[in-house]
Amino acid sequence: MNLLASSWLVVASATGSLLSAEKHQAWTLASEVFASAKPAKTNHSPEAMVAAAEAFLEKLTATQRGQALLSLDHPERQKWTNTPPRGNEGGLRLGDLDKGQLEAVSVLLSTVMSTEGYLMSRNIMLADDLLLDSREEAEERGGFGSANYWVAIFGKPSVENEWALQFDGHHVGVNLTMRGEKVTMSPSFIGTQPREFKLGDEVIVPMGKETSLAYEFIDSLTEEQKEEAIRGDKRRRIVVGPGKDGKTLDIPGMSCKGLTVEQREKLLKLVSCWVDDLPKACAMQRMSEIKAGMDQTVFTWNGPFALESDMSFHISGPTVIIEYAGQDLGGDPLDHLHSIYRDPTNEYGAKWK
């Protein structure tokens, strides 16, 4: 199929709402609801998160509720994946929900995540619709497109006790654990294909900031620092992706202890691209933790460092692991990006037990 044959006319508001006037072949009810939805107006408080979760659960049938609401220690919580087809266990498929239920999912996601985090996930879903529409093999394989994302709640939503939300599908694997005012988003996976796409006159680049800030940081290093950081002329694969819980990132690279103040700020700004998917107060706390461990953090780059190169980078510190890599699975690696974010001290809220 020709991607350009499907014309999307989109109006983007200041709040990030996308309105489609012309639908393409892969467009579903889930696509329509998420493209039209605006991020919830919320203070991201525990009360707001619980209210959004309960509002979603109330819209479900008894059977659906049994599928969506699982125990906190349910094994499906660690079986998330970004690889389609995902499987039919552990939550509800968006394609099986009605409009009101989908709207409740949208509100829930934009309440437990920041606006940036919600829009990132939403845009990746819409990118996957385009991928499904343009690749015959995606349709044959199954599991692509907005209809094939899944949502599950683990534990009873509570303003005090621990509970969790999982949202996963192709290129999105978000695991949020809440306990009172605390929220962790570890482990989580974010990727995209295509890297950039156009909806009418609006150009959407889901991971544009992550990519550009990575090049800004590597460009700020001295030649001696680059010799330490760059460990190969070809990108590496992601090491601690889905199914790799508990695995550490032991890759040689540049110690961040000797970074200048300006270089540290550039690296922290890059890290914040993932951390800022959390609500603001939680993101600020996480950045303080990561900053405190900067002297023990290692940065590794593989591949050329010229802009628009086929590369990967890895960040490993006491409380953070971030990996980013292009993919060469039969296409342009610059157009197919994967990344992982982990807090090795707090996977699935482990340190709150």
Residue 175 and residue 148 share a domain: yes
Q: How high is the pLDDT of residue 115? A: 97
Nearest CA-CA partner of 42 in 134, 106, 138: 106
Nearest CA-CA partner of 26 in 220, 162, 170: 170
Residue 275 and residue 142 share a domain: no
Q: How high is the pLDDT of residue 350? A: 95
Residue 240 and residue 332 share a domain: yes
Please give the Cα distance from 144 to 129 (Å, whole number). 7
Strand partners, 322: 315, 341
Residue 304 and residue 231 share a domain: yes
Q: How many C-alpha atoms does 329 have within 13 Å on its Cβ side? A: 12
The DSSP code for 236 is P
Q: How high is the pLDDT of residue 6? A: 34
Residue 217 and residue 130 share a domain: no
Residue 177 and residue 36 share a domain: yes
Burial 211-226 (b: 16+ CB within 10 A, else e): bebbbebbeebeeebe
Residue 11 and residue 34 share a domain: yes
Q: Where are the alpha helices (DSSP H) in the chain?
A: 29-36, 46-58, 62-68, 99-112, 115-134, 136-141, 208-220, 223-229, 261-275, 280-292
pTM, two decimal places = 0.90
Residue after which a domain boundary falls, among 158, 176, 204: 204
Residue 77 and residue 35 share a domain: yes
Give residue 341's domain range: 208-352
Residue 265 and residue 129 share a domain: no
Interior CA angle at 241 toward 97 and 334, to 5°?
A: 90
Residue after which a domain boundary falls, among 145, 171, 204: 204
Q: How many domains does the chain have?
A: 2
Q: How high is the pLDDT of residue 162? A: 98
Q: How high is the pLDDT of residue 307? A: 76
Residue 155 and residue 63 share a domain: yes
Tens-level pLDDT at each residue, the chain (353 residues): 333 223 333 333 334 444 343 455 567 899 999 988 999 999 999 999 999 999 999 999 999 999 999 999 999 999 998 888 677 778 999 999 999 999 999 999 999 999 999 999 999 998 888 877 766 655 555 678 899 999 999 999 999 999 999 999 999 999 999 999 999 999 999 999 888 877 667 788 999 999 999 999 999 999 999 999 999 888 888 999 999 998 888 889 999 999 999 999 999 999 999 999 999 999 999 999 999 999 999 999 999 887 777 899 999 999 999 999 988 765 666 778 999 999 999 999 999 98
Residue after which a domain boundary falls, among 204, 220, 239: 204
Residue 217 and residue 183 share a domain: no
Residue 152 and residue 32 share a domain: yes
Q: How high is the pLDDT of residue 331? A: 61
Task: Tell how strand 202-204 and strand 188-192 pair up.
Answer: unpaired
* Contact (Cβ atoms closer than 8 angstroms) between residue 126 and residue 204: yes
